[in-house]
């Protein structure tokens, strides 16, 4: 019990911050040029990984060690993506919205809202789209240490989302904005004050409980002092147990993504693969909550007792609810074979069989190479 209590308190003690947001683009050089010339971002680093057929680049308004940045990913041969309806927009703070809008217009960007005061307020804003169709809100503010200041996501249940981001990810609800006249509510979530750091803007539109994820926006990376402890909080049963018994000392658990879109929380188990020179996924699990069941129409009726004196019949039964689903790959067998063979191979080419597997190998302890 003491361990569980300590785990619950962990997010309050952990020094977390937003690191970067990952999304896919159809032309990396074109997007880099647009972001540097229109928004004033700088290229922080860039790499090409031909063996996996992708390139990526990190851009931002300051160093990665202190600022929130974007990670642009280009997959070879893919020129367009579906952004979906769950992702909303990014926001950039600038001292001159009109100047930035004109820079966007001059470079062929799409201005979807001209500069002007926000409805019901005095802040000057504008909306533009980049070459891939991602929307950016431009907000006129004074100097700020974090110009890339917001990521807006649409959620189907705001209270549920707020609870998840607070308890699982240790964020604070900085502000709740009710707009009944426009039929939406916003929750601003973050690790620091809104005008000092990047925040998540969670938007609930009245009556809308489902959004499409698309395949363009990927995830937000969050820094933590201990990724294992942070992952333990959202998945109390350690999924590594199956793999650590095989004595793969370098097996690790990675919190893959935390999104209120297609999956609520997902995990990868990765292990070192010497031949590739990197970690590779050997198991994964995703808690999709009710995302899939809403699309498939899978419901259940709670076994709640009827009120005393109420008449029997369908009209008096509890209303149905959507089921929650889990997607999981217990073991990616081909990759697991690679992992075991490479990690247990000896200098003479033989492979030591991990002790838990020897009973399934007829008692064999070592696989020896055939002599030529």
Catalytic residue positions, numbered: 137
Residue pair 135/88 in contact (Cβ under 8 Å)? The answer is yes
Q: Any known ligand binding at 71?
A: yes
Taking Cα atoms as reference points, which of 192, 176, 172 lies closest to residue 184? 176
Question: Which residue is listed with tokens 């209270």?
Answer: 159
CA distance 276 to 271: 11
| CA trace torsion 257, 262, 266, 268 (10° rounding) | -80
Q: Please name which of 11, 346, 267 lies closest in space to residue 164, comparing C-alpha atoms.
A: 11
Rounded-to-integer distance, Cα 168 and Cα 230, Å: 8
In terms of DSSP bridges, do strands 366-367 and 148-154 run parallel, antiparallel, or are they unpaired? unpaired
Residue in this structure with the two tokens 């590594």, named with its chain if needed = 240
The DSSP letter of residue 197 is: S
Please give the helix or strand (H or E) that residue 334 lies within, else none: helix 333-344
Query: What are the angstrom distances between the C-alpha of 357 and each of 241, 267, 269, 343, 366?
Result: 15, 25, 19, 15, 11
Length of the chain equals: 372
Closest CA to 330 of 247, 232, 243: 243
Closest alpha carbon to 130 in 262, 221, 41, 61: 41
Q: Would you say 324 is a known binding-site residue?
A: no
Phi, psi of 236 (to 5 degrees): -60, -30
Q: Which residue is it, tokens 């860039």?
A: 46
Closest CA to 301 of 286, 323, 283: 323
Tokens of 249: 């000392």
89 assigned to a ligand binding site: yes
Do residues 134 and 181 touch, judged by C-beta distance below 8 A?
no
Residues placed in the known binding site = 71, 89, 137
| Binding-site residue ranges for Zn(2+) | 71, 89, 137
């Amino acid at each position: 019990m003491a361990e569980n209590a300590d785990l619950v308190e962990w997010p309050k003690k952990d020094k977390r911050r937003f690191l970067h947001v990952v999304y896919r683009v159809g032309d990396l050089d074109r997007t880099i040029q647009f972001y540097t010339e229109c928004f004033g971002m700088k290229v922080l680093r860039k790499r090409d990984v031909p063996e996996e057929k992708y390139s990526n680049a990190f851009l931002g308004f300051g160093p990665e060690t202190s600022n929130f940045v974007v990670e642009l990913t280009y997959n070879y041969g893919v020129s367009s993506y579906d952004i979906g309806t769950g992702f909303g927009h990014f926001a950039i703070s600038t001292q001159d919205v009109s100047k930035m809008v004109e820079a966007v217009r001059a470079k062929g960007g799409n201005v979807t809202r001209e500069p002007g005061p926000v409805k019901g307020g005095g802040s000057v804003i504008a909306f533009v789209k980049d070459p891939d169709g991602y929307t950016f809100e431009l907000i006129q503010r004074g100097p700020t240490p974090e110009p890339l200041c917001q990521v807006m996501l649409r959620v189907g249940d705001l209270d549920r989302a707020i609870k998840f981001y607070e308890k699982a990810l240790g964020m604070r609800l900085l502000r709740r904005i009710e707009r009944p006249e426009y039929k939406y509510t916003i929750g601003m979530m973050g690790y620091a004050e809104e005008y000092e750091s990047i925040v998540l803007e969670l938007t609930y539109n009245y009556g809308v409980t489902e959004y499409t994820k698309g395949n363009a926006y990927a995830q937000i990376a969050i820094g933590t002092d201990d990724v294992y402890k942070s992952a333990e909080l959202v998945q109390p049963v350690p999924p590594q147990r199956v793999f650590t018994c095989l004595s793969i000392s370098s097996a690790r658990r990675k919190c893959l993504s935390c999104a209120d879109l297609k999956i609520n929380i997902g995990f990868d188990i990765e292990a070192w693969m010497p031949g590739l020179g990197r970690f590779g996924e050997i198991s994964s699990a995703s808690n999709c909550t009710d995302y899939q069941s809403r699309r498939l129409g899978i419901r259940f009726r709670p076994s709640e007792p009827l009120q005393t004196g109420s008449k029997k019949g369908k009209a008096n039964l509890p209303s149905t609810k959507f089921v929650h689903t889990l997607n999981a790959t217990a073991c990616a067998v081909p990759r697991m074979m690679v992992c075991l063979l490479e990690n247990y191979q000896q200098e003479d080419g033989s492979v030591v069989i991990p002790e838990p597997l020897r009973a399934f190998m007829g008692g064999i302890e070592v696989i020896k190479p055939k002599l030529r």
